[in-house]
Structure 1
Amino acid sequence: MSPRLRFLQVLPLAALAACGPSSPDDGECANYDFPLSPPPASARHLTCSSSACGDGLNPPTSGDHCGDTLRCRVHDTEPNRCVWLHNLEHGHAVFLYNCPDGCPDIVATLEGLQREARIGSNGVARALVAPDSRIPTRVAALLWRRSWSADSPDPTALRCLLRLQDLEAPEAHLTCLP
């Protein structure tokens, strides 16, 4: 087989290998890995008063969740986790912060990144920002079955995570109310 023909056979395979969905592979995103958590045993809709939701991770990234979703905006009161889990199922990004004494700089950074999320057909950025007193770090960013956390936001890491938005979400690309 000629070298040219062998190159033409291998080229499509190389292109497919470079497009793997596990993490962005170009430029500055090559330094970050956002592995998938195991698939949830169930992703049923529960009553919104339930607290028996999620996949057992803290914060949860999939699993049983409320039938409602949160609006894609910055929230100043802590919502029920079961509600924003449904946002994740729809392919929305969720940015959480845990700052009992306040952290306007962190919230402002997350709000800016929230506006960089994918835009729904209704023109609304498909992400939300909310406090969560149970996360073990000051900041967490979530997609369905993926998470990133630290004590301060890393805009580069979070932009790289946003590149994966919708990849694993069972009901990806759905709009979100403002």
Structure 2
Amino acid sequence: MTGRMLRALPALLFALSLACDSSDDPPPGGMEGCEAFAFPLSGVTDASHVSSCSSAACGNGENPPNSGLHCPTWLPCRSYTEEQPRCSWLHNLEHGHAVFLYNCPEGCADEVAKLEAAQARAAQGSNGVRRALIAPDAQLPKRFAAMLWRRTYLMDSVDPDALACLLAYQDREAPEPGLLCAP
């Protein structure tokens, strides 16, 4: 190989890696009906810890953020009735946990029950805890969001089929996939 060819090799390998981005891959297990839903990948961001969970640097700039800088602590996997720091549940996403959010100031118990049903289908850790959490979030651009690391599905009403299809991607892009979650 010539020196010029060797210098071009890294650029070629990088281009090939972009062509193999898993955003176009079907969900694992060939789940029927999932082709009706799109769960595009957000860009790759720094997954480092910030010094404070109230840092404005948390996230990747999306609303809601689905990756990026996050605080060093994560949340137990359960259903919350109070808003939780975005910077904390971003750390859950990094561990491969699913995060389900809702914005219903007028209440939406039936829809939250659908999120809880999806939470019950999330991947289970070796400690028996389902690796997903539910929390309100007043900043959502729609009433509901279902997220994995670098993937967000926004909804005006909860679609159980979409949530089942999204969960098929659990742990695929997470930097630290499969980590346990405390109850």
The reply to whether TM is greater than 0.5 is yes
| Cα distance, 1:23 vs structure 2 | 3.4
Equivalents in 1 of 2:172, 2:157: separation in Å? 25
Contact 1:22 1:34 in 2 (8 A): no
| Counterpart mapping for 1:61-80 below 5 A | 61-80=66-85
* TM-score in terms of structure 1 length: 0.86
- Alignment pair present for 1:98 and 2:103: yes
- Alignment pair present for 1:123 and 2:118: no
| 2:140 aligned residue | 135
- Pick closer, same or farther for the CA change 1:23–1:58 going to 2, 3 Å: farther
Equivalents in 2 of 1:132, 1:155: separation in Å? 20
Equivalents in 1 of 2:175, 2:24: separation in Å? 15
| 1:60 aligned residue | 65
Equivalents in 2 of 1:140, 1:157: separation in Å? 11
The number of equivalent residue pairs is 160
| Counterpart mapping for 1:149-160 below 5 A | 149-160=154-165
Question: SS state of the match for residue 33, structure 2?
Answer: helix
* TM-score in terms of structure 2 length: 0.83
Equivalents in 2 of 1:71, 1:26: separation in Å? 29
Contact 1:23 1:35 in 2 (8 A): no
| Cα distance, 1:55 vs structure 2 | 0.2
**How large is the Cα RMSD of the aligned pairs?**
1.7
Equivalents in 2 of 1:121, 1:151: separation in Å? 34
| Counterpart mapping for 1:39-54 below 5 A | 39-40=44-45, 42-46=46-50, 47-54=52-59
- Alignment pair present for 1:37 and 2:33: no
| 1:11 aligned residue | none
Contact 1:23 1:164 in 2 (8 A): no
- Pick closer, same or farther for the CA change 1:29–1:130 going to 2, 3 Å: same
- Alignment pair present for 1:22 and 2:36: no
Deviations 1:22-66 (A, max 9, x none): 3325411121121111101x2211122323210000000100001
| Counterpart amino acid of residue 149 in structure 2 | W
Which segments of 5 or more consecutive residues in structure 1 lack a partner in the other structure? 1-16
Which segments of 5 or more consecutive residues in structure 2 lack a partner in the other structure? 1-19
Identity of aligned residues (%): 57
Equivalents in 2 of 1:144, 1:38: separation in Å? 11
| Cα distance, 1:112 vs structure 2 | 1.1
Contact 1:21 1:164 in 2 (8 A): no
